């Protein structure tokens, strides 16, 4: 007989709802859901889940409880309701992106009630949640990770046990630092393209197309350290080539920006710092 994991899911928003729908469709998952809004609960019930009248009611019926709410305050509030009724051995999975110190604080509190906590923020957005291709970055003990894993594997295609409690959140923050710095750089590129009389929407198509081919910023994230590259290291030649191309293209882009009167501070900062950032000293 197939083992069944009883899972509760709290927070059926833009990403939480498609995550829960993946759980509802998964084999070996007995799913309860809760949200303050009745509409997404009804949709999950149609998909085979069962709606809980309260967080407390869900907590008494679940082995693993997934939490995907808005912020630290809501996470703390939800955990408080869970701890009021939860039994020994349950695992709470915090999918919300919270402050770096919050997961350890929550885990310490939960441990006094016999409850394990993992922080497991996700990357991939609503589309990744809908098709089950989320990257899920997990912090917590081996035991807690093993307990949460059946639910996590139903929702994501890349599950990374990043380290102890809090490591998942730190992983997510590092990943999203790059995400939003790249977004800011994209706004510079759009202003430059528009000032030069180009079609900004077509530039977006080109960027999305080539990022699928080259991997975007992730294409340079191949080493296992950010330390300077030593002479003779295989990566020296690879990153020297990246720097040579970057230096040339950034120099020309800044020249164009100066001609068009467009301020591109991120481009100037990149020209100043990229070589050292690549590990070339």
Distances from the Cα of 236 to the Cαs of 13, 126, 257, in angstroms? 45, 38, 31
Q: Is 247 a catalytic residue?
A: no
Strands 64-67 and 116-119 come out as unpaired
Selection from 113, 112, 97 nearest residue 11 by Cα: 97
Across the chain, how many H-helices and E-strands are there? 11, 9
Measured between alpha carbons, how far is residue 262 from residues 157, 188, 191, 194, 274 in Å?
A: 41, 8, 7, 10, 21
Give yes or no for a contact between 6 and 63, defined as CB atoms under 8 angstroms apart: yes
Q: Which residue has the tokens 């989320």?
A: 134
Active-site residue identified among 17, 172, 247, 248: 172
Cite the active site residues.
Answer: 172
């Amino acid at each position: 007989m197939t083992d069944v994991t009883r899972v509760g899911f709290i927070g059926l928003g833009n990403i939480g709802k498609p995550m829960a729908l993946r759980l509802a469709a998964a084999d070996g998952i007995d799913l309860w859901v809760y949200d303050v809004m009745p509409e997404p609960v009804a949709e999950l019930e149609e998909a085979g889940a069962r709606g809980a009248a309260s967080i407390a009611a869900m907590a008494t019926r679940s082995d693993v409880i997934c939490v995907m709410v808005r912020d630290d305050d809501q996470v703390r509030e939800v955990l408080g309701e869970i701890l009021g009724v939860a039994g020994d051995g349950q695992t709470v999975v915090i999918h919300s992106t919270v402050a770096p110190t919050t997961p350890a604080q929550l885990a310490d509190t939960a441990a006094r009630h016999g409850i394990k906590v993992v922080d497991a923020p996700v990357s991939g957005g609503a589309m990744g949640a809908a098709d089950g291709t989320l990257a899920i970055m997990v912090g917590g003990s081996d035991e807690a990770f093993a307990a949460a894993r059946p639910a996590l594997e139903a929702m994501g295609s890349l599950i990374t046990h990043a380290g102890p409690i809090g490591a998942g959140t730190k992983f997510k923050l590092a990943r999203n630092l790059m995400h939003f710095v790249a977004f800011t750089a994209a706004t510079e590129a759009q202003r430059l393209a528009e000032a030069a009389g180009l079609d900004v929407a077509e530039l977006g198509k080109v960027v999305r197309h080539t990022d699928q081919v080259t991997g975007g910023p992730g294409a340079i994230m191949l080493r296992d350290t950010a330390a300077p590259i030593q002479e003779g290291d295989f990566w020296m030649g690879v990153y020297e080539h990246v720097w040579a191309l970057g230096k040339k293209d950034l120099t020309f882009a800044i020249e164009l920006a100066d001609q068009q009167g467009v301020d591109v501070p991120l481009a100037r900062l990149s020209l100043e710092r990229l070589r050292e950032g690549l590990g070339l000293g």
